[in-house]
Amino acid sequence: MKWLVLLGLMALSECIVIIPLTKMKTMGEILSENNLLNIFMKEHTYRLSQTSTGNSNITSLPMRNFLDLIYVGNITIGTPPQEFRVVIDTGSSDLWVSSIFCTSPACYKHNTFKYNESSTYRPTQETFNIIYGSGIIKGLLAYDTIRIGDLVITDQPFGLSLEEYGFESAPFDDILGLNYPRMSAIGAIPIFDNLKKQGVISEPVFAFYLSKCRGKDSVVMFGGVDKAYYMGELKWVPLTQAGDWRVNMDHISMKRNVIACSGGCHAVLDTGTSLIQGLTSLVNNIQRLIRATPHGFKHYISCFAINILPSLIFTINGINYPVPARAYIFKDSQGHCFTTFRGGTEQDNISETWVLGEVFLRLYFSVFDQGNDRVGLAQAV
């Protein structure tokens, strides 16, 4: 998960929304300028719920959308259940929650797990350390019962934080990772793998429908796919290698000209990232092509360009996936428009890689098939 999310001075819309943590500005700065989180949380309550898809083998967990930037769902931990708001992240593998023993300022601002109130809690003395793009978590490994919608996982390992840095103003409590076990920072079996192991789901598949602000409710579904959320057929793409939601991408083009990934590259499908992220030099070239002007951490552009700029085409496994200007340009509450491209993947010290976050995944219903080590994409409704 790379929290390179765009948070401008955005106006609240009529959909249910939530504020993301941002690397461009600290959340403290954003909230002090706008007081958006307090306003939103007072006006919009949210309780754990689940939906039926008509297929008894599929469990769907609703998520709420903050300004097309990040999506949060609710889970419970313990017996009786204690509720937490989590970012459901395909870029990481671990679940952690704040402990009542945590003394960091962030822990006082979020729901904390009260282990002494859970009859199914099992402690350990194993320590962990997780480093994210915007913060660090340190704590102890523990076990308890986790509920996601009507799915129940018993004796699930998870992290109990004792120290949290960089999460002081995050509007979610925790992170739930859905990547492969080899990506686990705490060395524990991830929740999705335990869902398979314990026979809780019939198919080793989960899928995301990330709505636009005024669209259908966003959902993550486990154990199958609901065809009501996409059009046409799913196009399957094998993973580069089993163990990460990374695929080979053919190239990136605009107006039939290849502008990046010219010799092929990697693409990571990451629900924990709101942007499209790539090598800084290539991203800067795209910004120049569309005549975006840098200012601070963002590149601004005339709002009139939304109607005239061409789509950016991501070609994956021979299939073109257009991202139109209306998707890759955002408007802030001051009426200024800015792009959703960011550099920085060269820091991973691997070959050319692009992170396709929610800007891309809002357009394309995404299926993560761990049983066959592949992902499926189709146009979202």
Backbone angles phi, psi at 112, to 5 degrees: -115, 150
Residues 208 and 267 in one domain: no
Summarised one tens digit per residue, pLDDT across range 75-101 is 999 999 999 989 889 999 999 999 999
Which of 189, 222, 255 is where one domain is finished? 222
Residues 75 and 166 in one domain: yes
* Active site residue ranges: 89, 270
pLDDT at 288: 95
pLDDT at 345: 86
Task: Please choose, from the candidates 109, 86, 97, 104, the residue with its C-alpha nearest in 3D space to the C-alpha of residue 160.
Answer: 97
What do you get for the CA distance between the two ends of the chain, in Å? 26
Structure tokens at 78: 């313990």
Residues 71 and 186 in one domain: yes
pLDDT over 90 percentage in the chain: 60
pLDDT at 211: 83
Kindly report which listed range (157-166, 343-352, 371-380) carries the lowest average pLDDT score: 343-352
Which of 187, 207, 222 is where one domain is finished? 222
Sort residue 110 into left (φ over 0), alpha (ψ -120 to 50) or beta. beta
Average pLDDT over residues 167-182: 86
Q: Which amino acid is at 115?
A: Y
Residues 31 and 126 in one domain: yes
Spatial separation of the C-alpha atoms in residues 125 and 140, rounded to whole Å = 6
**Which residues on adjacent β-strands are paired with residue 366?**
208, 377
Q: Does residue 366 lie in a domain region?
A: yes
Summarised one tens digit per residue, pLDDT across range 277-311 is 999 999 999 999 999 999 988 999 999 999 999 99
Summarised one tens digit per residue, pLDDT across range 16-33 is 222 222 222 333 333 333
Spatial separation of the C-alpha atoms in residues 63 and 2, rounded to whole Å = 19
Mean model confidence pLDDT for the chain: 82
Q: Which amino acid is at 298?
A: K
Summarised one tens digit per residue, pLDDT across range 310-337 is 999 999 999 999 999 999 999 887 889 9
Residues 191 and 61 in one domain: yes
In which domain, by residue range, is 120 found?
27-222
Spatial separation of the C-alpha atoms in residues 157 and 181, rounded to whole Å = 12
Average pLDDT over residues 126-142: 87
Structure tokens at 308: 């005239």
Residues 145 and 185 in one domain: yes
Is the pLDDT at 58 greater than 80? The verdict is no
Spatial separation of the C-alpha atoms in residues 319 and 317, rounded to whole Å = 6
pTM: 0.84
